[in-house]
Amino acid sequence: MAHNLGRILEKTGLCSQITFGRYVRQGRKLGLDPKLFIQDLQFNEVPVRVYQPKATSDGPRRGILFFHGGGWVFGSLDTYEKVCRYLSRESDSVVVSVQYRLAPEHKYPAAYEDCLSATQHFLQHLGHYGVDPARVAVCGDSAGGNLAAAVSQSLAGSSHLPRLRAQILIYPGLQALDFNLPSYQQNRGVPLLFRERAAFFALLYLNGDALHMQEVLEGSHIPPDMRLKYGKWVSPDNIPEEFKVRGVKPIRPTDFIAEVYETVKRFCEPNLCPLLAEDSVVHQLPESFILTCEYDVLRDDGLLYKKRLEDNGVPVTWYHLEDGFHGIINLFDYYSLSFPSGKRGLDRVVAFIKSL
């Protein structure tokens, strides 16, 4: 319904689908939280919202940088207010929610640069927020999980800032080479993220438009030698067999089209597709938590990254929601629509944070 209404509004010239989509996703303003001190600030000119538990603490608290989902196109501090309040309250941590710039108005690497910049600022001023420098984590869902993974990789070898204690990736999107992995085939029409939408969002983030979406979906945007190079990391062969029982057919990529590759070659940059980082980088990453959902096109991105981390000796806590679908965390307490498995997933994140 909302989708059709968006189309109608666009045809009548009132606003684009994206502006309308942002409007319907705004979320209601929440009242004061008796247990949290919440303030809107700027870290290196990036808007952030800081959540601090009011209760006195024995010592410095854990710090969590949170990057929201929404395909790099949607989402705001307000849409994730409930999630961030819950994380701060339940894990007794200082949470910093980052309002990075959105596509298509701001293309890659704007979102990544904002998240990295806000993280660096926070790491330089932890004492001001009563945060333990040995217990800071980055966290994000969907596109936010992509940004958390990219920021974590960028800081992995940094010696002048406190080392991140953990990365928490909630159904992250981590690659744009193969939109025909088993989870893309099995869940192509499952809400809240259709297969076409995943490619659409990745292209909007990269280029500010969705030209060549069909070629990208078919795989003709990647040269054969590159496909071979990354095949050791992005391949259905690396997906455990139990995830193939719902059916999967071998799909050969269509013929390579050089001019399409020219427009999307930055898909091979790890800051955009963290699954493609070299082993020397992955090897240095902090302890990781990965949440995947069975009914999610991005499931296999999470599974493939889990394997890469484990192959490089990084401890991984993995939680799989067998009845979960993409976006479910944000629906853990959604007015009349409440999904118990969304809350179960969020509570696993809280338990992981408390273990740090």
- Whether the Cβ atoms of residue 66 and residue 96 lie closer than 8 Å to each other: yes
Q: Tell me the C-alpha distance between 155 and 48, whole Å.
A: 20
Confidence tier at 355 by pLDDT (50, 70, 90):
very high
The pLDDT of residue 336: 61
The CA radius of gyration of the chain, in Å to the nearest whole number, is 20
- Separation CA 222–CA 97 (nearest Å): 35
pLDDT (0 to 100) of residue 4: 60
Contact yes or no for 26/55 (Cβ under 8 A): no
Q: In what order do the strands lie in the sheet with 61-67?
A: 36-43, 46-53, 93-98, 61-67, 131-141, 166-170, 287-295, 316-325
Euclidean distance between CA atoms 101 and 204, whole angstroms:
13
Are 304 and 275 in contact by the 8 Å Cβ rule? The answer is yes
Residue 323, φ and ψ in degrees, nearest 5: -110, 15
Please give the structure tokens belonging to residue 256.
């390579």
User: Distance between CA 312 and CA 105 in Å, rounded?
Assistant: 37
Is residue 54 within 8 Å of 123, Cβ to Cβ?
Answer: no
Tokens describing residue 165: 């204690």
User: pLDDT at position 200, please?
Assistant: 95
Query: Would residue 296 show up in a list of annotated catalytic residues for this protein?
Result: yes
Type of residue found at 193:
L
* Residue 326 designated active-site: yes
- Closest by alpha carbon to 202, among 337, 280, 107? 107
Structure tokens at 275: 């699954």
Whether 341 is catalytic is no
pLDDT at site 157: 86
Whether 315 has a pLDDT exceeding 70, the answer reads yes
- Are 118 and 147 a contacting pair, CB within 8 Å? no
CA distance 240 to 306: 11
pLDDT of 291 over the 60 cut: yes
| One-letter amino acid for residue 149 of the chain | A
Tokens, residue 204: 């909007």
The catalytically annotated residue of 68, 212, 221, 326 is 326
What the chain holds in terms of domains, given with CATH numbers, is 31-355 (3.40.50.1820)
Task: List, in sequence order, every beta strand (DSSP E) within 31-92.
Answer: 36-43, 46-53, 61-67
pLDDT at position 13 is 45
129-168 pLDDT tens trace? 999 999 999 999 999 999 999 999 999 988 899 999 999 9
The pTM of this model reads 0.94
Could you read off the pLDDT of 183-232 as tens digits, one per residue? 999 999 998 899 999 999 999 999 999 999 999 999 999 999 999 999 99
Question: Residue 244 — pLDDT band, cuts 50, 70, 90?
Answer: very high
Q: Mean pLDDT over residues 89-109, rounded?
A: 97
Q: What is the DSSP letter of 25?
A: T
- Give the CB-side neighbour count of residue 316, counting CA atoms within 13 A: 24
pLDDT band of 66, cuts 50, 70, 90: very high
**Which pLDDT score is estimated for 333?**
79
* Catalytic, out of 141, 178, 296, 301: 296
- Higher pLDDT residue, 280 or 4? 280
Residues 277, 280, 283: CA angle, nearest 5 degrees: 90
Supply 249's token pair: 């057919």
Residue 335: the pLDDT is 61
Q: Are 303 and 277 in contact, with CB atoms under 8 Å apart?
A: no
For the chain, how far is it from start to end, CA to CA, in angstroms?
A: 43
Catalytic, out of 142, 152, 154, 288: 142
